[in-house]
Amino acid sequence: MPELPYVLVAGYARLPQSTGAGVMYQHLTVIAKIESRTSRVLEASTTLATSLADSFVKEHLIGIDLVRDLDRFVEVVEGHYWGNGRKAIIGAVRDLARRYCEQAVPGANVSPDIAHRG
């Protein structure tokens, strides 16, 4: 199997039915291409219903170190995303970070901040 410099990781969270994506899907998926060496998000995509909401998440997720910068991403979403899907976005990205940490460093304790489901 060829060694790649990145991994793809998906995170999931339940969507409220009051969102456009919640009407189409029950869960929000955020998938990210993460550079293995640095834990930086290289690309990202979501199942949010509008391209503007998807762009917002990508704009603030791409480039962050998923292990060290997660709090900063959460603060941006909490302060600047005023839609009903805010908790689902944060939950899906936290789930993504948790899954990444569990796989990137098998046996490592996942930080309580990453594991928190808010």
CATH of the domain at 44: 3.90.1010.10
Residue 1 within a domain: no
Residue 97 within a domain: yes
**Phi–psi pair at 33, nearest 5 degrees:** -95, 120
Residue 30 within a domain: yes
Gyration radius (Cα) of the chain, Å? 14
**Residue 101 three-state SS:** helix
**Closest residue by Cα to residue 115 from 82, 83, 80, 90:** 90
Q: What is the pLDDT of residues 9-20, one digit of tens each?
A: 999 999 876 655
**pTM of the model as a whole:** 0.83
Residue 44 within a domain: yes
Give all strands of the β-sheet with 41-46 in edge-to-edge order. Answer: 6-14, 27-35, 41-46
Q: What is the pLDDT of residues 23-76, one digit of tens each?
A: 556 789 999 999 999 999 999 999 998 999 999 999 999 999 998 999 999 999
> Whole domain around residue 33: which residue ranges?
6-115
Number of domains the chain contains: 1
C-alpha span between 90 and 6 (Å, rounded): 23
